[in-house]
Copies of this chain bind each other. A is one copy, B any other.
Amino acid sequence: MSQAFQFQLKNTDGKARLGQISMPRGEIRTPAFMPVGTVGTVKAMYLDQVRDLGADIILGNTYHLMLRPGAERVARLGGLHNLIRWEKPILTDSGGFQVMSLSGLRKLDEQGVTFKSHVDGSLHHMSPERSIEIQGLLDSDIQMQLDECVALPAERKEIERAMEMSVRWAERCKVAFGNQPGKAMFGIVQGGDQPDLRIRSAEALKALDLKGYAIGGLAVGEPQAVMLQMLETTLPVLPNEKPRYLMGVGTPEDILKSVAVGVDMFDCVMPTRSGRHGLAFTRRGKVNIRNARHAEDMRPLDEASSCPASRDYSRAYLHHLVRSNEALGGMLLSWHNLAYYQELMQGIRAAIAENRFADFYAETMENWARGDIEPV
């Protein structure tokens, strides 16, 4: 562990990068997948399970946490780690994305956003400075700048305006964050689907010399090819020696392809949300456990997995639990999916370390394409 936030690039294989973030609360092996602990809990999981699966860091949603239990309350309770019993690093988003997507947005201007809580209808104001203040009250280890994320498709003018304001907000967030050697504040590249705007955004943020860079405003409905094109455009502009985080992504395939172009960090609700709806991600692609073919299949999702949820519970039982809307169904499938995501990241890291990422990529894609085991 390190008293200061440090990123070490350990190996590259093609554009894929193997690295490690070191900070006081622990080390984060990259490429890393961060399970999403929305409101102080990775849904339907014990955090002990999340840790045991190999997650080095989880994500918390500032928007949810500021409304409930509230940032000042979390601070009085000793910070988010203390409240939820998670000792490793936590990354928090700025709250901006969910303010804009979940709340009743009232006003957005240079100063910040005014919005109505979806929980109790109360009015709140969030500026870049307040976002950083809240993330500090939560005692977040990696904090994100407030940005404006424009839903695609959008007018170029609108994308440009939001991108430029986001750069100005990054400056304000950097000032508000100040000097905290054991923590980090990341900037967020915006620019929608416009390559030149992405480049301008990345260059402006690079000039701010931040500790890490996120790519925002992707995986918001655009085709995967557009997302990858934006990454290929943006990443070369960013400094090599800083971590790159693709926000809110994604499917296992999105992750594998993004690692291939040089992304280091990911977060997504997909493994837990899909799990609650009966969708399992496996080495052999997606499995919809609600499907009747599983009703009398006593085989597990993946007998070769070391995760009990994947290895010890039959498809027939999972099918029954999900069909019956039983909590244990979501518990087991969230566990399985998070295990699969961490296993994928572990496989990616090992492959880059051994300079065989291209082979790993091909094999992994091939296995997904093979599809599920034959029905019984």
A-to-B contact residues, CB < 8 Å: 39-41, 43-46, 68-69, 73, 76-78, 82-85, 295-296, 298, 312-314, 316-317, 320-321, 323-324, 326-328, 330-331
Across-interface contacts of A328 in B (CB, < 8 A): 41, 43-46
Selected from B39, B69, B84, B295, the residue in CB contact (under 8 A) with A73 is: B295
Q: Give CA–CA (A116, B45) in the complex, Å.
A: 36
Residues of B within 8 A of A85 (CB): 312-313, 317
Q: List 28 A-B contacts (CB under 8 A).
A: A40-B317, A40-B321, A41-B321, A41-B328, A43-B327, A43-B328, A44-B327, A44-B331, A45-B328, A46-B328, A68-B320, A68-B324, A69-B295, A69-B316, A69-B320, A73-B296, A76-B296, A77-B298, A77-B314, A77-B316, A78-B298, A82-B298, A83-B316, A83-B317, A83-B320, A84-B317, A327-B331, A331-B331
Q: Please list the 7 inter-chain residue pairs (A to B) with the smallest Cβ-Cβ separation, ordered nearest first.
A: A44-B327, A41-B328, A69-B320, A41-B326, A39-B324, A83-B317, A77-B316
Bound CA span A77–B313, Å: 13
Chain B residue nearest to A38 (CB atoms) is B326
Closest to A332 in B: B46
In the complex, chain B residues whose CB is within 8 Å of the CB of A295: 69, 73
A154–chain B nearest beta-carbon distance, Å: 32
Do residues A327 and B326 form an inter-chain contact, with CB atoms below 8 A?
A: no
CA distance A323 to B39 in the complex (A): 11
B43 touches A314 (CB 8 A): no
A45-B328, A77-B298, A83-B314 known; 10 new pairs, CB 8 Å cut-off, are: A39-B324, A40-B320, A40-B324, A41-B321, A44-B328, A46-B328, A69-B320, A78-B298, A327-B331, A331-B331
Question: Chain B residue with minimal CB distance to A83?
Answer: B317
- Report Cα–Cα, A69/B329, bound state, in Å: 14
Across the interface, which residues of B come within 8 angstroms of A40, CB to CB?
Answer: 317, 320-321, 324, 326
Residues of B within 8 A of A69 (CB): 295, 316, 320
Residue of B nearest to A330 (CB): B327
Contact A39 B326 (CB under 8 A): yes
A321 CB → nearest B CB, Å: 6
Q: Given A83-B317, A317-B84, do A77 and B41 touch, yes or no (CB 8 Å)?
A: no
